[in-house]
Chain A
Amino acid sequence: MATSTCGQIHQHENGSKQQILVHYMIEQTPWFERKFDFNFPVGLFPVIVERLRGTAPHIEQIVNRTTDGQLSRNMNGAWSIKEQVGHLYDLEELWRGRIEDFLAGEKTLRAADLGNAKTREANHNQKTVRQLLIMFSDARSALIQKVEDVDEATASLTSIHPRLQTPMRLIDSLFFVAEHDDHHVTKIRALLANP
């Protein structure tokens, strides 16, 4: 069992902030091992969209008051915090493209680059975390604008997910994005706490 350390900025009643170190004893399931049940009602659409809205402010609070050195640090070959944020930005194009695939009636959704070449080549560590957060936040707003007013029939449009090889509704693809976000937000929290 792997042990990682996590940090949290906690707002105290007097308004001051301090970093609190906590320890997770449970190892996070790798993304490619995650399995999803796409059987929830379409009435979860507003809840899922709200999760998507929350990712940028959540990350912003986590990385607030963190030094650039800490944000750029690569440990044991793993992505730095900036690269994690940059990766979320890099994938927004894919998520938006998949929405277009649903709307165009494509049988199979466009595939992700499982090697993450875009993130590896983007040199995200050379950017400031503020730049990365603005890029991500703008791209996420564009995704939300694309979907927020869809009706039930559109949210239920179905296509095949190329890696999972399972039918997926448009609403499921957004749930998939929300889960992917939270996977990386959790990674960011863990990276922050490593001294």
Chain B
Amino acid sequence: MIPQTAWTERKFEFNQPIGVFPITVERLRGTPIRLQAMLTNATDENLTQKVGDKWSLIEQVNHLCNCEEIWLGRVRDILDHKEIFERRTLKTDLQSEQIETLLKNFSAARHKLISLVENMDEQTASLTINHPRLQRPIRLMDTLFSTAEHDDHHLAKIRELVW
């Protein structure tokens, strides 16, 4: 089995044409659907089992829920023409230990994000902001791409725990 690259080691070039925007939005729509499909046969043991100090499946899904506030805030920062992303602290508390509640929360939060971006024109999707960690400007569509990649990073982690 090939070990998965840590999220903090991922690098992005953010050089996609603006025409990839609808595809990125569709990827974002797909995450709650894929998560739901993946967890259909998950047992209670799957949901709470911890391997070493790594997150359990419930903690992984909680993390996805908690991140939505960050992604939404970043899009709003760009729409507000801020120079740099506002510093935000990622919540680490459990929203729920019920997987049904978490899936509903994640789906609702993702719907909010998509509603904010789906009708954008090229000019808006191309608005830029300085990314404090990357030390370079990125476009609004790049932040969405990064979110889609972050989703997939965690879906792959969750898959390990379901099987």
Contacts and interface: CB of A to CB of B under 8 A. Distances in A.
A47 B26 contact: no
Contacts of A151: 2
Interface residues of A, number: 45
Contacts of A24: 21-22, 25, 118-119
Given A23-B118, A185-B26, A54 B34 contact: yes
A152 B3 CA distance: 9
A61 interface: yes
Interface string A145-172: 0000111100100000000000000000
A47 B36 CA distance: 17
Contact of A54 (B5, B20, B37): B37
A190 B37 contact: no
Interface in A24-58: 24-30, 33-34, 37, 41-47, 49-51, 53-54, 57-58
Contact of A43 (B2, B38, B108, B111): B2
A155 B2 contact: yes
Nearest to A189: B26
Contacts of B19: 26-30, 33
Contacts of A34: 20
A46 B4 contact: yes
Contact of B120 (A25, A41, A42, A61): A25
Scoring B23, B37, B108, B119 by chain A CB atoms within 10 A of each residue's CB, the highest score goes to B23
B135 interface: no
Contacts of A61: 33, 37
B13 interface: yes
Interface in B118-155: 118-122, 125, 149, 152-153, 155
Nearest to B30: A58
Given A10-B111, A57-B34, A182-B26, A41 B122 contact: no
B159 interface: yes
> Residue among B1, B18, B104, B153 with the most chain A CB within 10 A?
B1
A57 B119 contact: no
B33 A26 contact: no
Contact of B34 (A23, A27, A58): A58
Interface string A79-118: 0000000000000000000000000000000000000000
A11 interface: yes
Contacts of B156: 46-47, 49-50
Interface of B: 1-5, 9, 13, 15, 17-23, 25-27, 29-30, 33-34, 36-38, 104, 107-108, 111, 114-115, 118-122, 125, 149, 152-153, 155-156, 159-160
10 contacts: A6-B22, A22-B118, A22-B119, A24-B119, A30-B19, A44-B4, A47-B156, A51-B152, A54-B30, A152-B2
Interface of A: 1, 6, 8, 10-11, 13, 22-30, 33-34, 37, 41-47, 49-51, 53-54, 57-58, 61, 149-152, 155, 179, 182-183, 185-186, 189-190
